[in-house]
Amino acid sequence: MSLEWNNHHGIRISFKQQVTFGRYSSRLYKTVVLAVAGIFLSFLLRLHGFHGRDITFQAQIDRRSESRGTGSYLRQSRSFSTLQKRVFSQAAWDKALNKYGNPAINCDLPAKNVKKGYPTQSPWQDTDALEENGWQTTTPNSLALSDTPGNIVAALTGLNALQGTSTHYYSFQNQEYSVEVGGVATDFEGSQGYYASTVNVRTGLFVAEDNFSPSEMIKQNPSWYALNQPPPALNNWADVTFLQWYTAAKASGGSNNVILKRARSLKYFARYHIINTESQGIIDHALQSVGATLQPWPNGHTFPMTTDEGKAILGSPNGRGVAFFLYQHKSVLGIKTVDSVTVFSTTGRDSNAHDETWYQAIFTLRDA
């Protein structure tokens, strides 16, 4: 921890080198430093009016980060189900249906048919972009495929999606990055944003397990960063997770054609432990529309994309990221679209170790 002068932002507190996370720390006295930093950070948070969930969340980051030091991956519950009740919103449903109709979400369109004014292909198609933008990627253990409560092993086994080796990718934006500010390239300390996923290229499986974007991390914790600090250019979930998938496709080597064939094998896209209350409300309403309720695997419900229910789930906050993943990386993935989505539940644990219903969704993909 240090006080430093920054020509752009004045005096600020920096945790840039002295406090790092989990396996990324190379300090001999990591435990002592983290303990002191934690006490000091807690004092600062209280001084600036951060209480309750903010301090609890920091403790969750510390526990999650420390667990990676042993090569394991521990997701702390961030559902806040006791604080936020799921309430169906007709506006959210209508928005989700409209999102599906947007060409940016309707992923079976060839890239050349994109209408003027809509997003086209992402600039992030090269795996080197991760390191260039301050992302470090490691391969700890997966929670979704572990033997802990709430896992989705039974569902993925039922789909024959767990043959061969599955690899967990944890991309952590903990390194310095440069962003142009006022026409000047400016360096900023790592945002501590992260995206955690599990992939199996052999079976075409991608599991999105946990995420906290750099922009959201900065937005929720402004006092941790330089004044008005922007996120890294490579910030969005769809881009970073795509690069995780592409990294896995390249891992076994081979010619470009062989690598592209692996990359285009994508068949199942799972959203693990959905905690977004808008997405949960849309799933609940979709099920109610057909006289069903959320049930454990194998009694989940499948909605084809020809139905309003399937389209709304795809257009939900947890669905449209999948569409952007497919839509904005066609040069590598080819033209793929979503065929159906299956929603089901597992029984996980909340932050107090009590049983809790976890929402799960698996999107089945096909070539357009």
Pairwise CA distance, residues 19 & 24, whole Å: 10
- Can you give the residue ranges of every domain in the chain? 1-70, 75-367
List, for residues 5-36, the tens digit of each pLDDT value.
443 333 333 334 333 333 333 333 333 444 44
Read off the pLDDT band of 222 (50, 70, 90).
Answer: very high
* pLDDT band, residue 80 (cuts 50/70/90): very low
On the question of pLDDT at 231 being above 80, the answer is yes
Rounded-to-10 torsion of CA 245, 249, 255, 261: -90
pLDDT score at 127? 97
Q: Specify the pTM.
A: 0.78
Say if residue 244's pLDDT is above 80: yes
* Tens-digit pLDDT profile for residues 85-97: 566 788 888 888 8
H helix or E strand, kind and range, residue 257? helix 256-263
Q: For 27-73, give the DSSP string.
A: -TTHHHHHHHHHHHHHHHHHHTT--THHHHHHHHHHHHHHHHTTT--
End-to-end CA distance of the chain: 52
Of the chain, the percentage scoring pLDDT greater than 70 comes to 71
Q: Residue 110: which pLDDT band, with cuts at 50, 70 and 90?
A: low
* pLDDT at residue 102 greater than cutoff 80: no
Q: pLDDT tens-digit profile of 266-306?
A: 999 999 999 999 999 999 999 999 999 999 999 999 999 99
pLDDT exceeds cutoff 70 at 113? no
Which pLDDT value is given to residue 181?
94
pLDDT the model gives residue 97: 82
